[in-house]
Structure 1
């Protein structure tokens, strides 16, 4: 890390900020590890896409959003939901398929939703939510609100037509939307060099007149700093901004993925850039946190994750008689 980054967390107030960032990243990591364990035990069914390795992006960006801002994500959204403040028990219950889940157990892992925190999914169609984000931002502009819309997506979505349509309309209509590309290099399982003629995603924004910045997505301090500036620009100018966070997922695309498309040695090299270890080591080396602080954080997180599992286990299934609820409308003559 450069000297400027180190200076950012030397004061007492910055120590608190560093602890908060570390806590959130560790919570996401432990929640995801527990989810993988529960999936193996068939407590969680369907698809499961884990966020392990990419925690710095969600935490670094969402820290800068206000409660009034809209947030949309991909199907790899557990980390975003936790960083946004959705109760871990509500998320875990949703993955269990229990009615106490944030989507009443109907969405599962890929479709988390929480209106109270303005977390609008969890979208399984690649790039489908980019157009939704533009629409939400346009609505905010029409209603003269001061909120923005933040939309997370992967580099795989940048190869879809809707990415280009969204970029074009966002710039054409000048709407307050922050596009955050989580570039983990492989989309589902195809290396970026095989799906993009120009692999630098940050070169795509300027083609539509959108200001763009690329940042080290494995460094939460760098992400937070870049996101803060980007969000300020979107909020004050009312124009779109593209923030590209170059990151890496440590686990396979999903629990069904045999992961034959990348070498294990490559994964191990990226693990040396673990965003949690980076921040924890930086703070430890500067005597900002102690081993006691770290132990307390880990214990608190373990307790919170276990409570989430207990909440999900005790949850109830939706009654069969409610099967048509929210799906079919009553016929009226």
Structure 2
């Protein structure tokens, strides 16, 4: 499992500006984005559990989530979602629809050929597309400084004739503001944008990752920068929300998550004879 703990502001701040008609692609670390986009949590959890009531009948697992009702998809292949997102944006443009396509990627994906090819076309065609780079400093165990020629990927936007933005310190308010500007520009025919967000992966690359590659004290330091408790404290300090209101929201969120897990555990496993359904066999589409 590739957990999203620590990166929640990236999803919430961007998806707050999107509708079900807008198109979103995400990475193997996709759950926070899926939830923010409105993916059905019961069916997503069932998919993670490999159950027949999951989004893809248990075939995709936790990295390959598809919910056509809200135009969301994710893939475990690095940088794979950028091309489909640019394609969706081109489709919106050609049909004259006021929709936007957003691709979430990690900072490591910005070194893939698919990133550069897709952004080149997005800039050339001026499609309604926004690329969000979640920079959590590590591509699995390789730190950004050891893999990337530039210290910040937002500077790469200039090479594709689009604006580039950088958001520091996982700031929910700044993410929201920058995303608002980029998405509004895209909707109004102003073309694509590239946004890199400094965020923090509070867990390992995957569940069980020993994280031996992190320098001593780094994990403890970024834990103190967790945006969720910081936002909680800020809302209370600014009288933007009462403690009782926040506690109610937290209880409701816990209950929703518990119901989704119970739904997934109670759901039946796929039948063996269904293994070849919804796949291509011998060049022919089978049921």
The aligned counterpart of 2:24 is 71
From 4, 7, 11, give the equivalent of 1:58. Answer: 11
8 Å CA contact retained: 1:51, 1:76: yes
The aligned counterpart of 1:85 is 38
How far does the alpha carbon of each residue in 1:120-148 deviate from its partner, in whole angstroms, 9 at most, with x for none? Answer: x2111101211111111111111121111
Structure having the larger proportion of residues in strand = 2
Q: Does 1:236 align with 2:203?
A: no
How far does the alpha carbon of each residue in 1:45-99 deviate from its partner, in whole angstroms, 9 at most, with x for none? Answer: xxx1000000000000000112211010001001111111122211111111011
> Per-residue deviation at 1:217?
5.3
> Per-residue deviation at 1:256?
4.5
Q: What TM-score results when the alignment is normalised by the length of structure 1? A: 0.82
Rounded to whole Å, the distance in 2 between the matches of 1:210 and 1:198 is: 17
Q: Does 1:195 align with 2:147?
A: yes
> Per-residue deviation at 1:268?
1.7
Q: Which runs of 4+ in 1 moved over 6 A?
A: none
SS of residue in 1 equivalent to 2:59: coil
How far does the alpha carbon of each residue in 1:289-325 deviate from its partner, in whole angstroms, 9 at most, with x for none? Answer: 2322222122112211111111001101122221111
Instruction: Give the paired residue count.
Output: 284
The aligned counterpart of 1:258 is 210
Rounded to whole Å, the distance in 2 between the matches of 1:258 and 1:273 is: 21
Rounded to whole Å, the distance in 2 between the matches of 1:116 and 1:193 is: 39
Within 5 Å, give how 1:161-310 maps onto structure 2.
161-216=113-168, 218-310=170-262
Structure 1: segments with no counterpart, 5+ residues: 1-47
Please give the root-mean-square deviation of Cα atoms over the aligned residues, in Å. Answer: 1.6
> Per-residue deviation at 1:238?
4.2
> Per-residue deviation at 1:265?
1.3
SS of residue in 1 equivalent to 2:217: helix
SS of residue in 1 equivalent to 2:240: coil
Rounded to whole Å, the distance in 1 between the matches of 2:13 and 2:275 is: 39
> Per-residue deviation at 1:156?
0.3
How far does the alpha carbon of each residue in 1:208-245 deviate from its partner, in whole angstroms, 9 at most, with x for none? Answer: 21111111352211111111111011111241100111
SS of residue in 2 equivalent to 1:108: coil
Rounded to whole Å, the distance in 2 between the matches of 1:179 and 1:222 is: 16
Structure having the larger proportion of residues in helix = 1
Which is worse superposed, 90-99 or 133-142? 133-142
8 Å CA contact retained: 1:211, 1:242: yes
Rounded to whole Å, the distance in 2 between the matches of 1:217 and 1:161 is: 28
From 106, 115, 136, give the equivalent of 2:68. Answer: 115
Q: What TM-score results when the alignment is normalised by the length of structure 2? A: 0.95
Q: Does 1:142 align with 2:142?
A: no
